[in-house]
Structure 1
């Protein structure tokens, strides 16, 4: 996945998040469903943002960003803000 593909996936997930919130507001889904789906989206977004940051860092330091791989959610979730 290159930088443009990562950014496109992030955009898709942000759009999905908006759709979920709209679905809750219109009553199409309940709060539990929204929370579960939002949780999944947030974890995947965290992974993508972290991947993008590491790829950019690798590129700016003269390395090959293609060597940077997506880390498991559990590993990304342990980072402190």
Structure 2
């Protein structure tokens, strides 16, 4: 996945996240399914942002950005911005 594809995917996921949050706020119900989907989406977004940062860092330091790999969500969730 190249940088443009990652950014396109991030944009789509952010839109999905916004819709889910709006849905949860407007329904006022428990929304277990929506909360579960939102949690999974947040983890996937963290992974995409991490992959994008890896690719940019590799490019900046003259390495092959295609060698960047998706890291486990358990690893990237704890990162600070």
Q: With structure 1 as the length reference, what TM-score do the two structures score?
A: 0.84
For 2:63, the equivalent position in structure 1 comes to: 63
Aligned-residue CA RMSD (Å):
1.8
CA distance in structure 1 between the partners assigned to 2:79 and 2:9 by the alignment: 23
Deviations along 1:23-78, whole A, 9 cap, x unmatched? 2234297432232111101100000001100110000000110111111212222x
Q: Which runs of 5+ in 1 are unaligned?
A: none
- What does residue range 1-81 of structure 1 map to in structure 2 within 5 Å? 1-27=1-27, 30-77=30-77, 79-81=78-80
